[in-house]
Chain A
Amino acid sequence: MDPLSWTGKIAFLDPILFIALGLLGLSVLVWIVLSAVLPENRAINVAGGSASLSSGPRELTALAVKAAFLATTAVIAAYLVLGVIMGTGAGIIGAIAQQFISVWIALVLLFTLSITFKRRLGLYGKLFDSPIGMIGFALVMFWVFTGFFGAMDMIITHDPLTQLSGLKNKVPGTPLRSPEEGDFHWYLLGGDNLARDVFSRMVKGAWEVVKIAPLATLFAFMVGITLGLPAGYFGGKLDTFLSFLANLILAFPVILLFYLLVTPEIVLTGLPQYMAIVLFAFPLIFFYVLINSRFRTQPKKNFLWLAIVLLPLLILYLMVINDPGSKVDILPVVLDWIDIPGGILVVFVSVVFVNSPTVFRIVRGLALDIRTRDYVAAAQTRGERPWYIMLWEVLPNARGPLIVDFCLRIGYTTILLGTLGFFGLGLPPESPDWGSTINEGRKLLSIYLHPALPPAFALLSMVLGLNLLADGLREESLKD
């Protein structure tokens, strides 16, 4: 087998891509310079007595930027389409594009469906009116789908833990020395210093992020909302106390906290598990209060809803916190179906712990602002209970900023997970998560670039996608 080149038979596209990129850069530059130099447009152009839109150099450059951007996108799309069709014939790019085929299909389906029905989808649909938001959403969903399909072993070319002889630190496109029947014949993005496939590890790493980051952020939001709403709504001593606690955690350098929480000695004492017991109880409290405050006056309905929501959650809660052989061992083994590996639980708990005070502060600030509104006064006059007002009047009206912050915070959590991996804390050393792979790759960085760069770009693009998505959502939610 010959080694693969980067673009193979579609190398004729390379110069076109460079020209398109150059044009894009040039047009953006001209656009900025012109917007700074030219005088501002008047809203109404009264030349000849009739109002008309001006088509000066400003509009022309904006058009040029748009055209160059479309051209670049078209060339990149051509790479991917040709790559999907030709596979390894189109070099490494083609082979990777073909491996990701399930992700492309899922993305195309998602986007066509969403754009078709965008008027009926509320804020989510409005996202497709903003180009920035769409780019961000595409990046995020790319990694989410990659995570899911990668976890089902669909995208990866090799097992992320297997070491193949003769492929240590080999460059991208190196063929396997003695491929067996059914093996993929190349290491697409090369091998790392333990001769494992960099590409497969990167894909598997996406799953590590996708399974932890959103859920941890969600838990942090439950904790922050459950504590922040009463702090902002009632104020007084409760607020002082809770804010003091939040500031306490916020004043703690994150990295020190990780080092203190995630070391094996601390895990032995069961401290992270006790923290898990407290932190994981917040969703239960949240849903209990949410349902109870709404249906308090209709006991039958109340009981039904509570049973439907809380029972599964309670069972899940017990299964998650229970870990046979550790300090918290309350359930019999037969009932303990979910077994979270110790490392992941610790990482999860510490990430939730670090994130929740910030969420608390945001929710508290929003509640402080919203409690002075007329509809809250109206609810108070109706005689509604405080918890009903907090959860069914204040919270829904705070959703815009909270959704935006949720996206940003998932990105921040991803960065935190990477930091943990980078310092080798919590996750097992052979784990394919991006932080650990970057940490391993950086040691030989001056000679071999390929093991460290793919996870670095993956993390960068995912967090960038989340930030762009948050930006698009903010813009669209402000338009109402």
Chain B
Amino acid sequence: MGLFILRRVGIMILTALCLTFVVFFMTNLYPNLEKLAKTQGNFRMSDEAVASWLEKGGYLQSTPKKYLEWVGLAPSYQHQAEDGTVTGRCITPGMKPEDAPRFCGILQGYWGYSSVFKDEVSSIIATRLSLTGILMFWVMLVMVPSALILGVLAGMKEGSATDRTLSTVAITTTATPEYVSGVLFIAIFSSSAVGLKWFKGTATSAMESPNLENFLLPVVTIALYGMGYIARMTRASMTEVMTAQYIRTARLKGVSFPNIVLKHALRNALIAPFTVIMLQFPWLLNGVVIVETLFNYKGFGWTLVQAAGNNDIELLLGVSVVSVLVVLITQLISDIGYVFLNPRIRIS
């Protein structure tokens, strides 16, 4: 077991390095750097001025070297101007070049400086991530139980009326992407054209005080799309369990149907959905970005859009590191959890 986890963690770190390198490479392509130089310096910069600006910031080194510096595995670039002043990534204003640390990358906790929000990337990500954390908490609280109940009810008796109806509901929700259901919800529940006005169409006020009125629509919008998929997986797993030999044995022994479902079937049927729920995180991230944009909730997904749209390289890198880590860690949990939950693997 220990070896298994160690191997998984090793692969995870390798994947994280590869992915962050890809993001780093793509954000550091020359046209992006040129745009950065022009937005930071002056829009009418000549090509030479751009080149010298980039030279000064250490952007013109080879990509692998820049990447290692950014991660914090190589000594950071320092630029010596003609008058002898030394500037570099590690040297914050007011600090003597000799006192500055040699390494300053992600590993040392230096995430860079956002050019759009004019703030430290680490503090931006911390606040935005906590906002999205609240959103995700409620999404999970709504989505997981309802999806499991839906799936178990449908899978209990395959082909029954309940199964048909609930499956149709599940299919419909998987066919409704967040930007469609969100628009429909806003149109029905918060527009003055329909006139119900039960909920608010924006979740901006939910950043300070989330309540039912401003937070229900975004939560339900994300939960609905993921719910259908999990419900279908739960149903498939439940129908498979219900045809197993030990269920037949229980029936022949005369165990009542609710008892069979709750005591014999449910525990085995919930192993597969657990992995599915964990693997849903990349898609949920997708939904978070759409819903936060749609409802103007300034969380992590909204920050991603702002960073990517405004060529804020350091913030975008920070955002992608976090999102890649979230995805990989949930994959790890799903792998380990599967081993723990499945008695066949656990006991052997």
Q: Which residues of A contact B (CB under 8 A)?
A: 28, 31-32, 34-36, 40, 62, 244, 247-248, 250-256, 259-261, 263, 265-266, 268-269, 271, 411, 415, 418-419, 422-423, 435, 438-439, 441-442, 445-449, 452-453, 456, 459-460, 463-464, 466-468, 471
C-alpha spacing A259/B26, complex, angstroms: 10
Determine if B42 is an interface residue (Cβ-Cβ < 8 Å). no
B293 near A423 with CB under 8 A, answer: yes
C-alpha spacing A265/B27, complex, angstroms: 10
Take A259-B308, A265-B35 as given contacts and tell me if A435 and B15 are in contact as well, using a CB distance cutoff of 8 Å. Answer: no
List 29 contacting pairs A-B, 8 Å CB cutoff, sorted by A: A31-B165, A35-B161, A244-B15, A251-B15, A251-B19, A251-B331, A252-B22, A253-B282, A253-B286, A253-B324, A255-B285, A256-B23, A260-B26, A261-B26, A266-B31, A268-B31, A415-B177, A418-B179, A422-B290, A441-B183, A442-B183, A442-B186, A445-B183, A445-B201, A446-B186, A446-B191, A447-B193, A453-B187, A459-B177
B194 near A35 with CB under 8 A, answer: no
Determine if B175 is an interface residue (Cβ-Cβ < 8 Å). yes
B201 near A260 with CB under 8 A, answer: no
C-alpha spacing A467/B175, complex, angstroms: 7
Kindly supply a per-residue 1/0 record for chain B positions 18-42, scoring 1 wherever the CB is within 8 Å of any chain A CB and 0 otherwise: 1100110011011110010000000
Choose among A36, A251, A464 the residue that contacts B282 (Cβ–Cβ < 8 A). A251
> Hey, which chain A residues are within 8 Å of B19, CB to CB?
248, 251-252
B171 near A468 with CB under 8 A, answer: yes
> Hey, which chain B residues are within 8 Å of A268, CB to CB?
31
C-alpha spacing A445/B184, complex, angstroms: 10
A424 to chain B, nearest CB (A): 9
Determine if B220 is an interface residue (Cβ-Cβ < 8 Å). no
Total A-B Cβ pairs within 8 A: 154
C-alpha spacing A418/B286, complex, angstroms: 13
Determine if B327 is an interface residue (Cβ-Cβ < 8 Å). yes
Take A254-B286, A269-B31 as given contacts and tell me if A449 and B193 are in contact as well, using a CB distance cutoff of 8 Å. Answer: yes
A441 to B, closest residue via Cβ:
B183
B183 near A464 with CB under 8 A, answer: no
> Hey, which chain B residues are within 8 Å of A442, CB to CB?
179, 183, 186, 294
> Hey, which chain B residues are within 8 Å of A464, CB to CB?
171-172, 175-176
A40 to chain B, nearest CB (A): 8
Determine if B289 is an interface residue (Cβ-Cβ < 8 Å). yes
> Hey, which chain B residues are within 8 Å of A415, CB to CB?
177
Choose among B171, B201, B324 the residue that contacts A251 (Cβ–Cβ < 8 A). B324
A252 to B, closest residue via Cβ:
B19
C-alpha spacing A446/B199, complex, angstroms: 12
> Hey, which chain B residues are within 8 Å of A252, CB to CB?
19, 22, 282, 324, 327
C-alpha spacing A456/B178, complex, angstroms: 11
